[in-house]
Amino acid sequence: MRLKDKVALITGAGSGIGRESALLFSAEGAKVVVVDVVDAAGNETVSMIGKNGGEACYVHADVSKAADCENMVKVAEQSFGKLNVLFNNAGIMHGDDDNAMTTEEKVWDLTMNVNLKGVFLGCKYGIPALQRAGGGSIINTASFVALLGAATPQIAYTASKGGVLAMTRELAMIHARQNIRVNALCPGPLRTKLLMDFLNTEAKKQRRLVHIPMGRFGEAKEMAQAALFLASDESSYMTGASFVVDGGITAAYVTPE
């Protein structure tokens, strides 16, 4: 078991990448702290883990609020005694996020508060717990759009994920000698509710698909497998990396026939 005796905290674990990662991490031996703002979804993830013989607890947290992030880490240590893996995965893709001219300031602020500030706050309170545990792994969910401009305008989302990459690199350097590794997971376009709600017309979906060499959207389970590698000791010589899992989109100059 690749995460035996480890404790993992995953934000946004009520759906998508977060839920699939919670289920997989548990199957690989971890005790999981499931964090979300949607209580029913988060508790459902905990129930699914329990039915599979795993151990998990749920914490309600809005990652844009310092008190909530401090509490989720506190609950992890109180419930399971330590924290070894911090997966800052929670994020939003606002339906009104568009180009710089039309995107409202409130949409920009909300996106930054959740996607970027949320990662900062997770690390602010999570890193001391990792230090107390003797080290560990931090995974921050970024995106391929942190590396490439998006074909469908989403200026706030793109900027927030670029910030996640920059923050990941700095955190990795600061904590490299403390046995704390910090890496960013950069998914390509996924068949998740988050993206499908944003690409809400067939034309929008096709505009994104035409750029993916593999010709399909990725699946949340595929991202969970990548996150498992970053969480496990198998990636022990990786830190400050942008781990790109994108169906080839960032490697493509033109899409193959």
Q: Where are the domains of the chain?
A: 7-188+220-237
The answer to whether the beta carbons of residues 245 and 187 sit under 8 Å apart is: yes
pLDDT at 129 > cutoff 80: yes
* Contacts for 69 with CB less than 8 Å, ≥ 6 apart: 61, 63, 118, 121, 122, 124, 125, 126
pLDDT at 254 > cutoff 80: no
pLDDT at residue 255, rounded to an integer: 58
pLDDT at 256 > cutoff 80: no
Residue 10 CA to its chain's centroid (Å)? 8
pLDDT at 228 > cutoff 90: yes
Domain covering 7-188+220-237 assigned CATH 3.40.1410.10 in the classification: no
Mean pLDDT check: name the lowest of 51-60, 66-75, 248-257: 248-257
pLDDT-derived band of residue 192, with 50, 70 and 90 as boundaries?
confident
- What is the rounded CA–CA span in Å between residue 257 and residue 255? 7
pLDDT at 207 > cutoff 90: no
Confirm whether 58 is a catalytic residue.
no
Please give the residue that has the higher pLDDT: either 241 or 207.
241
pLDDT at residue 42, rounded to an integer: 98
pLDDT at residue 257, rounded to an integer: 58
* Contacts for 198 with CB less than 8 Å, ≥ 6 apart: 93, 95, 97, 152, 154, 204
Q: pLDDT exceeding 90 applies to what percent of the chain?
A: 86
Render pLDDT for 229-253 as a digit per residue (tens, 0 to 9).
999 999 999 999 999 999 999 998 7
The answer to whether the beta carbons of residues 85 and 54 sit under 8 Å apart is: no
**Residue 212 backbone phi and psi in degrees, to 5:** -95, 115
pLDDT at residue 27, rounded to an integer: 98
Q: Count CB-CB contacts under 10 A for residue 54.
A: 19
Q: pLDDT exceeding 70 applies to what percent of the chain?
A: 98
pLDDT-derived band of residue 199, with 50, 70 and 90 as boundaries?
confident
Render pLDDT for 137-188 as a digit per residue (tens, 0 to 9).
999 999 999 999 887 899 999 999 999 999 999 999 999 999 999 999 999 9
For 31-44, what is the mean pLDDT?
98
Q: What is the residue-averaged pLDDT of the chain? A: 95
DSSP class of residue 116 equals I
> Which position among 58, 157, 237, 253 bears the catalytic label?
157
For 115-129, what is the mean pLDDT?
98
